[in-house]
Structure 1
Amino acid sequence: MFVDQAGTHKMFDLVAIGNPVYDIIKTPFVESLGRVLSGCSVNAAITAKKLGMKKVALVGCIGEDFERRFMREMESRNIQLMIVKRSKETTGFKLKYLDFSGNRELEVLGLSEGISRGDIPEGVFNTKAVVVGPVIGEVEVDVPAAFKSRGVTVFLDPQGYLREISEGVIQHCSNPMALEACCESHVVKPNMLEAKLLSGFDEPIKAAISIHERTGAMVAVTLAEKGSVIVYGRRAIIVPAYPTHPVDPTGAGDVYLGAFAYYLHKGLGAEEAASYASAIASIKVENIAGHFDISLDEVARRALWIRSRVKIKRLR
């Protein structure tokens, strides 16, 4: 999956692109003490780094209000930070979960500036893989296209292309730019709502097949407590979730994507990589935001449980 010539030196193993966010999180179980670090690109990068990926970088825009704090948090994790723009404010949301199934309201607390191809330093393209993870459409479609044209494996979370702001609150919406970004990616990871917006289907496998056929990408649809579905070629891989007691589902899909990218990078097949990604996501939901430790032994134990229950459906 990783498009890289043997013996070719790359500056980075993984680059994550998308604005960091500082959120206020309230679930039926816990509430954050003030604003906590999150964001698709951030959570994916941190996860890959925790698992052992050596050279990880993050590209985004941030406001002066959280810049120093963010720099400290990235430095402590040994993630190279490239702030391409400084904004008046940092992107952030007030997340209020309405039930135990992950349905939530997102009130906008701040928005940073956008990221286009011209904002990205040339050295950043010297990477084996990139995770493109906008939270509210801040990454232009020319960004994944530029990486793909250079032979970089592109992992996309399309969530930010399928959101708009209405009266200070995030709403989901269809957007042609989302499908265009998917076409510039090798792996696309929507949740079920996003998959429906992209495909028009509300059944996971049908939605994944539709997106795969229209884009050529491997499609991984995450389904919260129901696990995930991977469609690639003529196979649908049905991956269960590990049974657990969720405290905060915020960022679980981001963590899944970062782990999926890491294990594909290691050379695992989609079934194994998805089993590990699902295992790590199950650990994440037991903790608030992205602040959790990973025991590789526990990850392996849960992944083995999941892998033994994976089902393969042959597609016509």
Structure 2
Amino acid sequence: MITVVGSYNIDFILKVDEFPNEGETVFAKEIYINHGGKGSNQAVSASRLNAKVRIIAAVGNDEFGKNALRFWDDEGLDTAYVKIKNSVTGSAYIIVNSRGENMIVVNRGANALLDEDDLDNSLSGDILLTQLEIDERVVKKALREFNGIRILNPAPAVLKDYSILDYVDILTPNEIEFKELTNTDDFDYGISVLLKKIKKAVIITLGERGALIATRQEKILVPTLKVNPVDTTGAGDVFNAALAVFLEKGYDLRKSVRLANKLASYSTTIMGALGPRYEEVKRLIEEEENEN
């Protein structure tokens, strides 16, 4: 089982031709309202790949929170440890331009109220997947107490307590998050700093260039599919979800990253932050599984 500790947001997605400049008003061409939040995105995306997934999250006592619970039930998630808080449900406002690039503003809402006690008796499974859209103390407790492979997607990379990294097996920043965590543009130096804390590997996602796997023994650049993206929102979430799924299946790190790369790239060809269902990408997965 994969246990995801993280956030839920209702996403308001606005499609525009170009991002507005400071003080400028632009008109949206389309608007979508979807389920989002890194925790939810990763949990649902993993479940869609036929994994058994538990989500530990907080929603508000409003209609958006009720909708989230119905949505997770429909997606087959274990929601026994979801907490309902006396608050509004988290929300995100996402502007997507004609090139598929995005800008995001988040109101944390109930996500900020998930606390350490909410994790009691819930941290079981083979893989833990967590992020930084919830309180750092909750993330730290989850990582410290989980007995299994622990993946931290450091997004957003606003980390105050760096001792959290001592409990991480696999760290998965993108390039921006990597630079924010290490305060350097020097990949080799930054990786060496992180690997003094991270137990197994740092995986830096590089968009269309794929992903760089760094361990104490080696660095490997793993390429990805070439696609024409229409919406890059959530590609990192799909990558992390797929990584967890294939590691749980017992695949080695390199094969898991190759598969995660391909599914994340595929996800950018459709609107929204959620990953594809297994049936949509069965051929891609089987092709990779059949390779040596």
Q: TM-score, normalised by structure 2?
A: 0.84
Specify which of 235, 239, 249 is matched with residue 218 of structure 2.
235
Distance 1:31 1:247 in 2: 14
Distance 2:221 2:275 in 1: 28
TM-superposed CA distance for 1:196, in Å, is: 0.3
RMSD of aligned alpha carbons: 2.7
TM-superposed CA distance for 1:215, in Å, is: 3.0
After superposition, the Cα gap between the structure-2 partners of 1:238 and 1:291, relative to the gap in structure 1 and judged at 3 Å, is closer
After superposition, the Cα gap between the structure-2 partners of 1:92 and 1:154, relative to the gap in structure 1 and judged at 3 Å, is same
CA deviations 1:137-184 (Å, max 9, x no partner) are x2333544444344232111111352xxxxxxxxxxxx332x332222
After superposition, the Cα gap between the structure-2 partners of 1:121 and 1:85, relative to the gap in structure 1 and judged at 3 Å, is farther
- Structure 2 counterpart of 1:191, which letter? N
TM-superposed CA distance for 1:27, in Å, is: 4.5
- Structure 1 counterpart of 2:285, which letter? A
1:252 aligns with 2:235: yes
Distance 1:157 1:222 in 2: 11
Distance 2:260 2:8 in 1: 22
Comparing 283-292 with 91-100, which one deviates more in the overlay? 91-100
Distance 1:187 1:304 in 2: 22
- Written as runs of structure 1 = structure 2, the 5 A alignment for 1:22-33 is 22-27=10-15, 33=31
1:293 aligns with 2:269: no
Tell me if structure 1 keeps the 8 A contact 2:16–2:30: no
TM-superposed CA distance for 1:266, in Å, is: 1.1
Distance 1:65 1:149 in 2: 33
Tell me if structure 1 keeps the 8 A contact 2:264–2:275: no
Distance 1:180 1:100 in 2: 38
Distance 2:193 2:37 in 1: 27
More strand, by proportion: 1
TM-superposed CA distance for 1:93, in Å, is: 1.5
Match of residue 176 from structure 1: 160
Distance 2:50 2:195 in 1: 30
Match of residue 135 from structure 2: 139
Same amino acid, percent of matched pairs: 19
**5+ unaligned residues in a row in structure 2: which ranges?**
18-27
Q: TM-score, normalised by structure 1?
A: 0.78
1:20 aligns with 2:18: no
Specify which of 65, 68, 90 is matched with residue 66 of structure 2.
68
Distance 1:109 1:126 in 2: 29
Secondary structure, counterpart of 1:213 in structure 2: coil
After superposition, the Cα gap between the structure-2 partners of 1:217 and 1:25, relative to the gap in structure 1 and judged at 3 Å, is farther
Give the total of aligned pairs.
277
Tell me if structure 2 keeps the 8 A contact 1:15–1:58: yes
Tell me if structure 2 keeps the 8 A contact 1:205–1:236: no
After superposition, the Cα gap between the structure-2 partners of 1:267 and 1:240, relative to the gap in structure 1 and judged at 3 Å, is same
CA deviations 1:78-110 (Å, max 9, x no partner) are 1011322424211112112457373x4323456
Distance 2:109 2:198 in 1: 30
After superposition, the Cα gap between the structure-2 partners of 1:301 and 1:203, relative to the gap in structure 1 and judged at 3 Å, is farther
